[in-house]
Amino acid sequence: MSDPGRAPGDGRPLPRGLRIVLGLVGPLLLLGGWQAYVRLADVDEILLPAPTTVLAALSDDRDLLWDAFTRTAQEILFGVAIALVVGAALAVAMHLSRVVRAALGPLVVGSQAIPLPVLAPVLVFWLGFGLTPKLAIVAIICFFPVTIATLDALDRVDPELPRLLRTMGATRRQRLRWVELPAALPAALSGAKVSVAIGGIAAIFAEYAGYEQGEGGLGGVIQTAQLDTARAFAAVAILAVFAIVTTGALALLQRLVAPWAHRRPDGR
């Protein structure tokens, strides 16, 4: 995945300060246009609250929203962690064995065709109303990007490198350990970044299906907001900010554990 901090063409990274400014321009323009539309068009705030009204809801309902956020964040983070482990392991198994790839490949793709509104109630019925079905739903939805990204990276490893190690007497496990897995690590983390974004959607659907009074997370807040649209929008805003922050943290982790994937052509 390309680095959004690099300028196209010459590959030189943009200055950090400029990246921050540019990253704020889009949201500020969106919020400004949204605020102007609601006020100038005199839109009923039950249908579309203004950003200032959503900000007020964030302040007024901060205790409720914080408690709900901690529950949803737990579901997303643990679910994505499970998806990362399962997805990477599945990708390695499919890479090492053509039989496994032929047997599981259709199941991996088919699992993503199951609509969430159908999947969530079934898992809640099987596993109950606690944390377990929510983690299962998030993991099932999120493992696919990790599996596909990791498998593609394993398949695209320069064949000369494993061949060189083989001539030096390296075993299949050693070639996997020293060449293929390091090459696939950045792709697995890129898949995790995609999973964080869609993990929020999966968690909300899971909370809709397994809602319990006081235990619903941000999905429960949205579900019970009724005419308090500003509170529902506040919950969505929190979820969006969490996805942005978590994706940024994964990008930093990607740089720390796989610095070779971010080197420029001149080696810097």
Q: Is residue 1 situated within a structural domain?
A: no
Q: Is residue 181 situated within a structural domain?
A: yes
**CATH number for the domain harbouring residue 159:** 1.10.3720.10
Letter string b/e over residues 183-197, b meaning 16 or more CB atoms within 10 A of that residue's CB: bbbbbbbbbbbbbbb
Q: Which two structure tokens, joined as six digits, stand for 21? A: 């400014």
pLDDT of 241 strictly over 70: yes
Residue 99 — very low, low, confident or very high, per pLDDT cuts 50/70/90? very high
Per-residue pLDDT at 32: 92
> Dihedrals φ, ψ of 15, to 5°?
-55, 145
Q: Is residue 190 situated within a structural domain?
A: yes
Q: Write out pLDDT tens, residues 167-177.
A: 787 777 878 87
Count how many domains the chain has: 1
pTM of the model: 0.80
- The whole domain housing 58 covers 49-262
Per-residue pLDDT at 264: 52
Q: Is residue 42 situated within a structural domain?
A: no
Q: Write out pLDDT tens, residues 134-162.
A: 888 889 888 888 899 888 888 888 777 77
Per-residue pLDDT at 1: 44
Q: Is residue 202 situated within a structural domain?
A: yes
Per-residue pLDDT at 18: 77
Nearest alpha-carbon partner for 13 in 25, 4, 1, 26: 4
Q: Is residue 135 situated within a structural domain?
A: yes
Q: Where are the alpha helices (DSSP H) in 41-115?
A: 51-60, 62-96, 98-111
Q: In angstroms, rounded to a whole number, what is the distance separating the alpha carbons of residues 219 and 120?
A: 13
Q: Is residue 133 situated within a structural domain?
A: yes
What DSSP state is assigned to residue 13?
B
Q: In angstroms, rounded to a whole number, what is the distance separating the alpha carbons of residues 268 and 250?
A: 21
Percent of the chain with pLDDT over 90: 22
Q: Write out pLDDT tens, residues 177-201.
A: 788 888 888 888 888 888 888 888 8
**Average pLDDT, whole number, for the chain?**
83
Q: Which two structure tokens, joined as six digits, stand for 50? A: 């203004």
Q: Is residue 14 situated within a structural domain?
A: no
